[in-house]
Structure 1
């Protein structure tokens, strides 16, 4: 039995459409349909109930898929374990992260990663939605949060810190910003999440916290758009250290309250490496996780030491 067709069967079951799978794989829909028909003929089972508007698994198909998926995972694990003995990581690694973190922190590292592991292909799907790792067949994700919940395996990649920044041009033409409460008299740049649009929190070196009301006329997403607006002098913005390090080093942005930690929700945040909950971690995933830790734990890809912005 063709293992590739079995993987195709799983993908069709998840997508619920021959056309969607064909578009994803850049093949003709008829080839996907033929492969599934051949598999049904070989099994002597009807796996899908088809209509002009939908396609669903039959009862026999559901039973077969429930037993098939863990077997295919074990085949992949067995192949990977054997390959570790005699060769470098190879195959396809699928990774997801938020749009801005992916563009700013992961993409600049891919050339070095490929040079180190030339037989390993990488497919990045950057999205600000929390992609389901199992249904989307993702090998790992990078997620930004205080903590990660769910049936997944989690390892901290790096701590993240937030601060308020503005361009020198903005500061030259607006009222002084000497302490956090001064923000109440400015139109700040707002991030398109509810918790970020009404108040920001500040904590001084002695641990005292202060809640400051904010207002603004410009709401943006993703975070890279917020950075662009701050660089253009459109207002102060609450931004993470990994995003602004390069702009700060070049003098394009100024940290407004260096004696304070700032946040919209919680002060303790991090970037996390997240894997699907599996008993075996493929070598291709292990080498990517180790590479990201090596490059990002204390040194963002822009080349500005993280230690200059926050304690490692």
Structure 2
């Protein structure tokens, strides 16, 4: 009987295996293990014991009659057959999700849990202030804001929408530009009153600055004059901050000039707590084409809840995020 069962499923097309299991969650677990390369993280994601995940994999392998993963005490590696199976089943699961989302969208009632991620400073400055209005408009959506300076895996962490800052984004995600990211060099009035004047870009080389980025601080600043001339200035370091909010606090405390996005520094520039340096220049940390992007996994059907937040954010771009 064992030999017959193995022969029967040896070349089983994924669509038949997909139908026979009926438990789609088991297939999702198999796909996630192949993507993440270990059982424990998948078990944690589903709130299961690693032994339960192992039993699920074994049951799928028995049904197919093939080994999907090679397992040792420390490593999990997908087999050639497993990679082929996962690639096709993942597509079928995506289509199944899309079919369900399409039905929900037909009712035009965005519902469910909406998981959004952004960096801490960007989320606090641009996303959090908008969420009360969004919640009032869509009361059947439960918001989960995940503010984290690490770029989370949108599939593994079940993220519906990611807000990211970059000159350009990878092609494997659907991306919509939210707004152009522009920057200013700022310092506190107290710092400027007690240090040599900064009248041209070269003067920055004599001022230790508050840099952003860890472990690779952005010490080379790009400046473009009104006539289009560009130059790179390497600035000395007074202090490095891995978080934009910390960088702004250090600049406010008089630690030195800082290159910051307008969406972060606009309130303090408007109030006079920070003063612009070299206001006649366009400045950027790496690329003058920087932008804020809305990202979501590529799917044939966009869930109503994701469509709702994307459209809402596109309609709510504050003028002070791009100019002061």
TM-score range with shorter-chain normalisation? 0.7 to 0.9
Gaps of 5+ in 1: 300-304
Shift of 1:216: 2.1
Corresponding position: 1:25 with 2:46 = yes
CA positional deviation for 1:149: 4.1
How far apart in 1 are the matches of 2:307 and 2:151? 21
Distance apart, 1:262 and its partner CA: 1.4
- 1:166-224 deviations in whole A, cap 9, x for unaligned? 11222232223344333232211122375831x42323334343444421232221322
Q: Is the CA contact 1:164–1:238 (under 8 Å) kept in the aligned structure 2?
A: yes
CA deviation vs aligned residue, 1:65-106 (integer Å, no higher than 9, x gap):
122111111111111111112252233444343343233322
- Supply the distance in 2 between the matched residues of 1:65 and 1:200 (Cα, whole angstroms): 45
Partner of 2:318: 298
User: Does the CA-based 8 Å contact 1:158-1:298 persist in structure 2?
Assistant: no
Question: Does 2:95 match 1:79?
Answer: no
**Cα RMSD, aligned residues only:** 2.8
1:222 to 224, 243, 246: 243
Tell me how far apart the structure 1 counterparts of residues 318 and 144 of structure 2 sit (CA, whole Å).
25
> 1:134 Cα shift?
4.8
3-state secondary structure, aligned to 2:237 = strand
The one of 36, 47, 54 aligned to 2:68:
47
Look at both structures and tell me which one has the larger radius of gyration over its CA atoms: 2
The equivalent of 2:17 in structure 1 is none
Name the stretch that deviates more: 32-41 or 138-147: 32-41
Paired residue secondary structure (1:176)? coil
Q: Of 67, 85, 101, which aligns to 1:64?
A: 85
Mapped contact 1:96–1:124 kept (Cα < 8 A):
yes
Could you say if the C-alpha distance between residues 291 and 47 of structure 1 is closer, same or farther in structure 2, counting changes exceeding 3 Å?
same
The match for 2:269 is 248
Does residue 284 of structure 1 match 2:289? Answer: no
Question: For 2:230 and 2:182, how far apart are their aligned partners in 1?
Answer: 16
Q: Distance in 1 between matches of 2:142 and 2:52?
A: 24
User: How many corresponding residue pairs?
Assistant: 302
Matched, 1:185 2:206: yes
1:307–1:155: structure 2 CA closer, same or farther, 3 Å change rule? Answer: closer
Range that drifts further, 263-272 or 29-38: 29-38
Runs of 4+ in 1 over 6 A off after TM superposition: none
1:157 Cα deviation from its structure 2 partner: 0.5
Q: CA deviation at 1:293?
A: 1.4
User: 1:151–1:11: structure 2 CA closer, same or farther, 3 Å change rule?
Assistant: closer
Question: 2:172 maps to which residue?
Answer: 151
How far does residue 46 in structure 1 lie from its aligned partner after superposition? Answer: 4.0
Residue in structure 2 matching 1:90, options 106, 111, 115: 111
Q: Structure 2: where are the runs of 5+ without partners?
A: 1-21
Aligned to 2:31: 10
